[in-house]
Structure 1
Amino acid sequence: MGESEPAAAVGLRIRAVRKAQRMTIESLAEASGLTKSFLSKVERGRSTASVAALLRVSEALGIPLSNLFETTATRSVIRAGEYPAISFGGHAISEYLLTPQSERRIQVLLSKIAPGGGSGSEPYPLPGEVEFVFVVDGLLEVHFADGIVSLESGDALTFDPASPRAFLVPHSAPKTTVLWMICPALPHTAAKR
């Protein structure tokens, strides 16, 4: 591998994360204290950034420095029963991440919610452009400021993740399985569910 190839790969990762976060190169320059010209050259692989500069960029992007060096496979398979368990809070809920943690374009979660379980009564917003919910099995109530949306098996809901919401499975409903898709993926610090 040539000397410029690793620099180009790091630059491409910086650009991909910046764009996924809808951040302009000007905003990244301001947040990192580096010049727009320098960042542009780094993103295009025409300049190599020092460790100190990469630390400033990763901090401005809100990601670990190691994310700039990770190689992401072009495909990822997670076999049934091998989903990593995660927790965004709530009660009587088991949650699993179906996309790699390094994936920034989309985040897909599988939730198994017991009767009476959910996110809690306090509505919360999330960062992002779009959120999609699909009820695989059972019944889910999504509470918004302007009303409740009841979803049954096979129903889907798409909404702006900035809309505060809370969700729950009624006590009278069976255990419910839900798929959540959020674009772009949540920063690790923003997850609340």
Structure 2
Amino acid sequence: MKALPVHSGSGDARIGARLRNLRRRNHMTVEQLAAAAELSKGFVSRVERDLTSPSVDALVRLCRALRVEVGEVFAAEAAVDVVRLAEAPEVDLGGHGIRELLVTPSVNKALQIIRATVEPGGHSEDEPYSMDCRHEALHVISGQFVLSTPDQRLELQGGDTVSFPGSEPHGWENPGSQPATVLWIMAT
């Protein structure tokens, strides 16, 4: 099983926006959250705007009222991340005649997208492999591409998408005379 190219990073300690998003997801007003957590409306408002940091006790109360674990507040990913193709890090998950770029933030553990260019005749290693993720999808942007599983050989072309469990052993190849560009999408 191949591991995803995940890197740990330093998290942002500002949690106000995360708490606000959790409150909104629960369809609660500031007043309702403050009452449920037995805190003042002004205090909750200041916490949500990152003007003050809650004590451990206040954070636990807020999380209980929001029905989330405290760790979920700190584990939340930033709402918007941009990875420019020209700046995407190169990764190597194996195979021949392939160049792979990680086009999602490397700290994102829940979703990773790899943009690969596979030269004509490029192929995976001899033995089928699986990925350490729950779901995997392959989208062919251009060219010809073959995905092989123990049960089938799928001949794909530009515009085709296939999805399967990450634990499904598979292999791949570019049988065409032109490079193929594909996106590998992996989600936990």
TM range (shorter): 0.5 to 0.7
1:124 aligns with 2:134: no
TM-score normalised per structure 2 = 0.59
Which of 169, 176, 183 aligns to 2:187? It is 183
CA contact (8 A) 2:84 2:103 kept: no
Question: SS at the partner of 2:110?
Answer: coil
Structure 2 partner of 1:149: 154
Of 113-122 and 136-145, deviating more is 113-122
- Where structure 2 has 5 or more consecutive residues not aligned to the other structure, the ranges are 1-11, 20-55, 61-73
- Where structure 1 has 5 or more consecutive residues not aligned to the other structure, the ranges are 13-41, 47-68, 185-193
Moved over 6 A (4+): none
Q: Alpha-carbon deviations, 1:80-137, whole Å to 9, x = none?
A: 3221111111111000001111111111110000011122221012232211110000
1:4-15 to 2 correspondences below 5 Å:
none
Shift of 1:165: 0.3
Structure 2 partner of 1:106: 111
TM-score normalised per structure 1 = 0.57
CA contact (8 A) 1:120 1:168 kept: no
Structure 1 partner of 2:170: 165
1:78-97 to 2 correspondences below 5 Å:
78-97=83-102
CA contact (8 A) 2:141 2:158 kept: yes
Question: SS at the partner of 1:162?
Answer: coil
Q: Alpha-carbon deviations, 1:7-49, whole Å to 9, x = none?
A: 989xx9xxxxxxxxxxxxxxxxxxxxxxxxxxxxx9x954xxx
CA distance in 1, matches of 2:15, 2:80: 21
Q: Alpha-carbon deviations, 1:29-73, whole Å to 9, x = none?
A: xxxxxxxxxxxxx9x954xxxxxxxxxxxxxxxxxxxxxx89853
Identical aligned residues as a percent: 30
CA contact (8 A) 1:118 1:168 kept: yes
CA distance in 2, matches of 1:7, 1:73: 11
Change (3 A) 1:179 1:6: closer
CA contact (8 A) 1:8 1:45 kept: no
CA distance in 1, matches of 2:104, 2:78: 12
CA distance in 2, matches of 1:79, 1:6: 25
Question: SS at the partner of 1:81?
Answer: helix
Change (3 A) 1:70 1:127: closer
- Alignment RMSD: 2.9
Change (3 A) 1:165 1:79: same
Q: Alpha-carbon deviations, 1:154-186, whole Å to 9, x = none?
A: 11101111110001111x4310000111112xx
CA distance in 2, matches of 1:76, 1:148: 36
